[in-house]
Chain A
Amino acid sequence: MGDRGTGLLKIAGITTLLLVLWCILIWESPLSFLTPNNLENLLRRTALYGVLGIGVAFVIISSGIDLSIGSLVCLAACLLALFLQVDYVPVGQVDVWQVRVEDSTISVAADHGFTQGDELWYYKDRRNKGLVKVVNVGATTQLNGRSIATLTVDPPPKRDQDSRETKPLGKISSTFDVTDYQGSQTTLESDAPDLKHNDKILFVHASETPREKTVDRKGDGNQLVLTDEDSGLNAEFRAVPIRKIPFMSIPLAILSVFGIVLSLGIIHGILITRLKLQPFVVTLCGLLIYRGLSRWLTNDQTVGFIEYQETLGEVATGRWETGIQFMPVKVNPVDGADSWKIVWDSAEGAQMFGIPYSFFIFLTVIVTAIIFLNLTVWGRHLQAVGRNEEAARYSGISTHRITTLAYMLCAVLTGLGGVMFAIDSNSIAPSSFGNFFELYAIAAAVLGGCSLRGGEGSILGVVVGTALMQTLYNSIVLLKIPDELEFTIIGAVILFGVAGDELARMLAAKFRSKEA
């Protein structure tokens, strides 16, 4: 829209800068820079930060700002971890409410379903646990307003206990015969519940320590295949089947995260357009609020997705193998000068170059964002509002809605970024995760030609800007520049880029006025 020529010029300028930086890296440190591994990393980081950059670009183009991105990334990540929390619950487990030594009984909720002769697994804590047998099932009575049934058990309990509060004294669950155990394969008695992949079995024994095993898959018939073998196990053990119960399924969890960040984006928009609060202030408060919320929701504990290695972990570390193998290697020619070349054969140490999955997500975001910003009515309205909100309003554009839309888009992309970062790192420390990400995003957008005055900026520019930022980061590592200088160098390059851009603009204006 508008100054298309200058827009292209900007992208060309920053792309040149990026290429120059790559040349420097290839010249200075080819052996580390040109490895498939390093390039994949560069792609992955660009993808992750790029999603945030595109998000904030929408807001910047609407002539606003979003400072809450880093905290929102953290909140989205923490929410995802919480939504994906997993509980392992023994099948048919019931709470124990009263223990009486006198007549060897324990009292459990009335709907227990145990019968005489059942062998049960009692668990209170590490020390108080063990197998017990039901000798007699007594009548149902009332205790503290609860309907309970009394079970006479053997061996008898050690001391009286009575739960007067809401907390149970322990849990008790059914056990099943292990009819067969060989290697990593086992069969339980036929009325044992069905177990699936990632469920568990706790093997218990009157005298041996219990062992927990994970089910890998169902074998033939009733057979279950476990993930590993245990020579200490045999058919003498009894089995406590344990079900994996996720709080939410993965799609539901991701959708919920998106729903929440989307509402936060709408709230930002409404505060800014209806209450006329300044975007800086609104999102600064967001930055503080979401950070605090994340820490509170997680009790300030690091959270992650250990249970989802095979699904989410795969997405995070997975890559699409291009089939191209290479590796830079050092050559020592006779005259002694160091030189290098690229080998293309795995026999000589070349490795497969793969494109990280996250980069494909990024590509999708790029294409959608470009189409949205340039070809749809809303995108054009957004640019118009950014250039001159009043004139846009006088042209019949609902400027409030368009501004709110920008904050919504930013929040959703931040949410997406949060999910991607969360899966990628798999360890979210709520007090620091995502710190400064808003500044990286804004910097990338500005470097890519977005003007904080609004109206100006292109998605492609932001992408190149992000790539440049990540390459800078990469070069700090590879060129062994002191770590402490990271921010200084990034800051200096942005300043250089922006000043150069402004200088070019002034010269262009001068040239134009001379021509006129």
Chain B
Amino acid sequence: MTENLLEVHRLSKSFPGVRALHQVSLALKPGEVLSVIGENGAGKSTLMKILAGVQPADSGDIFMDGKKTSFETTRAAMDHGIVLIHQELNLCDNLNVGQNIFLGREPRKLGIVNSREINRQSEEFLDRVGLSVSPKTIVGRLTIGKQQMVEIAKALSVDARVLIMDEPTSSLSSKESASLFELIESLREQGVSIIYISHRLAEVKRLSDRVVVLRDGEYCRELIGDEITHSNMVSSMVGRDVSQFYNRTAHPIGETVLKVNKLTTPHWPKHSVSLEVKAGEIVGLAGLVGSGRTELLRSIFGIDRPLSGNLEVNGKTVQIRSPREAVEHGIALVPEDRKQHGLIIDLSVQDNIGIAGLRKHASRFGFVNFKKQKSDTDTMIHRLDIKTPSDRQISKFLSGGNQQKVVLGKWLSMSPKLLLLDEPTRGVDIGAKQEIYQLIEKLASESMAILFVSSELEEVIGISDRAYVMHEGQLTGELDRSELNEESIMRLATNTAELEEAKI
């Protein structure tokens, strides 16, 4: 066995209210593909950010070639040959491929950027990643898959020995994914080590030499070779019996609360979506990231105006032109991006919970009913068990789970008839996750209609009465509770045949 290229010893990192990483150690050999898996909030992203110099660790050591190092900046990490390729690509759309590859390190001649040299060298690296485009192509014109190749070429240009890829396939088509996998294999042969992070277990299984599982910020288990099986990965990640984690009880299902009739969203103008949600029903909306689920919720909630189609709420056809109107119709949305859309992060818990009901509870002449706001807040803090020192605490100092509960509290204080949830457990620790599932369950039993988007298959399978699956802007299927399993969802989410290809 060769020497370890990169070693990590007892790395820890905390954020206010959250222990993101606790005493995590791992090692990476040259020319190895190591996958790091774990649920959301397990600490994968934090670990990778520390390795890439995006943020410092609180404690712990990093060894490169057996020498102790520490990275204060991404630049320092890069100098050691560690490059992080983000989920969202870091390229300048308006520059060409060559300029992007050499951004900040342009070869110069008498102080003037030497474009010829850039193009010549770029071609070399593009060749290594197997991308046949001219270095003079503007990056914005390339597909996401090709842009990712450019990003990798850029990494190679700084002599990257460790490539960290964070969910690289999340926005790729299956064809693009396939060529990425080929590239990864060829890089491995060139001696480049790869740390691969993905939720897609099929990919992980196909690519990895070794898999490290993180759970709740701690090192959990390592899987090598034959141990890398789907069930091993799932059980290590979740760490408990899945059926108990999602504790479902049957309850009666009532009238249709929401009926979506041939709704076309501005993002997917060619496809329309029809679905319905009944009172007391928990309906999942599964699919890959970027399949149009968030856009559908946005259109239902009046954030984007649909191009065509209409909504029926409680049997009446309604036009919803703004979130305000949606709220007036008894609809609530817990958005995916909690910090940008869900909360006003600089305001207190009370201000956030009270904000939606300000108008509703106002006295004559528009004065705020502070008593009501305070009592609503107290009720929600108690009911949702929001862990906060006081209702005056600024929301940004709460943990992700408690922030999410604040968002939920804001809407529950409005007693909506229909609750739309977009990735409700993203960035939430495992304990809060379970509480949110219980809450959803309880709300449904109180005959609230619930439509939730989730990229976690376990979650969709665990709590839905029924689920719709989306693929590239259209519904590819509807699954009953009895039909729900990973395979059936993935088949619909990737539109059948492509799944087989990914799985080999």
For A398, give the chain B residue with the smallest CB separation: B324
Interchain CB contact under 8 A, A396 and B356: yes
For A376, give the chain B residue with the smallest CB separation: B366
Partner pick for A396 among B323, B392, B397, CB 8 A cutoff: B323
Interchain CB contact under 8 A, B323 and A395: yes
Expressed in whole angstroms, the Cα–Cα distance for A1 and B351 within the complex equals: 7
Binds A, one of B154-162, B179-187, B335-343, B428-436: B335-343
Interchain CB contact under 8 A, B343 and A391: yes
Asked if A387 is at the interface of the complex by the 8 Å CB criterion, the answer is yes
Enumerate chain B residues within 8 angstroms of A513, measured Cβ to Cβ.
Answer: 16
Asked if B322 is at the interface of the complex by the 8 Å CB criterion, the answer is yes
A378-B347 contact in complex given A395-B356, A396-B326, A396-B327, C-beta closer than 8 Å? no
Interchain CB contact under 8 A, A3 and B342: no
Expressed in whole angstroms, the Cα–Cα distance for A4 and B394 within the complex equals: 10
Enumerate chain B residues within 8 angstroms of A4, measured Cβ to Cβ.
Answer: 392
Interchain CB contact under 8 A, A391 and B344: yes
Partner pick for A394 among B342, B346, B365, CB 8 A cutoff: B342
Q: Which of B334-364 contact A (CB under 8 A)?
A: 335, 340-348, 351, 355-356, 358-359, 362
Interchain CB contact under 8 A, A394 and B341: yes
Q: How far is the CB of A404 from chain B (nearest CB, A)?
A: 14
For A2, give the chain B residue with the smallest CB separation: B347
Partner pick for B340 among A3, A377, A388, CB 8 A cutoff: A388
Q: Which of A1-21 contact B (CB under 8 A)?
A: 1-4
Expressed in whole angstroms, the Cα–Cα distance for A398 and B327 within the complex equals: 11
Enumerate chain B residues within 8 angstroms of A3, measured Cβ to Cβ.
Answer: 346, 394
Expressed in whole angstroms, the Cα–Cα distance for A378 and B355 within the complex equals: 11
Interchain CB contact under 8 A, A393 and B323: yes
Enumerate chain A residues within 8 angstroms of B358, measured Cβ to Cβ.
Answer: 377, 380-381
Q: Mark A109-146, 1 if CB is under 8 A from B, else 0.
A: 00000000000000000000000000000000000000
Partner pick for A392 among B328, B355, B362, B397, CB 8 A cutoff: B355
Partner pick for A398 among B303, B322, B347, CB 8 A cutoff: B322
Expressed in whole angstroms, the Cα–Cα distance for A378 and B362 within the complex equals: 10
Enumerate chain A residues within 8 angstroms of B237, measured Cβ to Cβ.
Answer: none
Interchain CB contact under 8 A, A375 and B323: no
Interchain CB contact under 8 A, A392 and B344: yes
Interface residue tally on A, bucketed by range: 20 to 34
Expressed in whole angstroms, the Cα–Cα distance for A395 and B340 within the complex equals: 12
Enumerate chain A residues within 8 angstroms of B345, measured Cβ to Cβ.
Answer: 388, 391
Q: Mark B94-111, 1 if CB is under 8 A from A, else 0.
A: 000000000000000000
Expressed in whole angstroms, the Cα–Cα distance for A333 and B376 within the complex equals: 69
Q: Which of A419-475 contact B (CB under 8 A)?
A: 455
Partner pick for A397 among B324, B328, B348, B397, CB 8 A cutoff: B324
Interchain CB contact under 8 A, A380 and B324: no
Interchain CB contact under 8 A, A395 and B367: no
Asked if A384 is at the interface of the complex by the 8 Å CB criterion, the answer is yes
Expressed in whole angstroms, the Cα–Cα distance for A1 and B341 within the complex equals: 18
Partner pick for A387 among B326, B346, B366, CB 8 A cutoff: B346
Interchain CB contact under 8 A, B368 and A377: yes
Expressed in whole angstroms, the Cα–Cα distance for A516 and B19 within the complex equals: 12
Partner pick for B342 among A2, A391, A396, CB 8 A cutoff: A391
Enumerate chain A residues within 8 angstroms of B210, measured Cβ to Cβ.
Answer: none
Interchain CB contact under 8 A, B341 and A377: no
Q: How far is the CB of B358 from chain A (nearest CB, A)?
A: 5
Interchain CB contact under 8 A, B333 and A2: no
Asked if B410 is at the interface of the complex by the 8 Å CB criterion, the answer is yes
Enumerate chain B residues within 8 angstroms of A394, measured Cβ to Cβ.
Answer: 301, 303, 323, 333, 335, 341-342
Interchain CB contact under 8 A, A396 and B324: yes
Interchain CB contact under 8 A, B356 and A393: no
Interchain CB contact under 8 A, B356 and A1: no
Interchain CB contact under 8 A, B324 and A375: no
Of the A-B pairs whose beta carbons lie under 8 Å apart in the complex, a sample of 9, sorted by A's number, is: A1-B351, A3-B346, A3-B394, A380-B355, A381-B359, A388-B340, A396-B327, A516-B16, A516-B397
Interface of B toward A, CB cutoff 8 Å: 16-17, 301, 303, 322-324, 326-328, 333, 335, 340-348, 351, 355-356, 358-359, 362, 365-368, 392, 394, 397, 410
Q: Which 10 A-B pairs have the closest CB atoms?
A: A396-B327, A2-B347, A376-B366, A394-B341, A377-B362, A387-B344, A388-B344, A377-B358, A396-B324, A395-B356
Known: A381-B359, A395-B410. 15 other contacts (CB 8 A): A1-B347, A2-B348, A375-B368, A376-B365, A376-B366, A377-B368, A378-B366, A381-B358, A388-B340, A390-B340, A393-B303, A394-B323, A396-B324, A397-B323, A455-B344
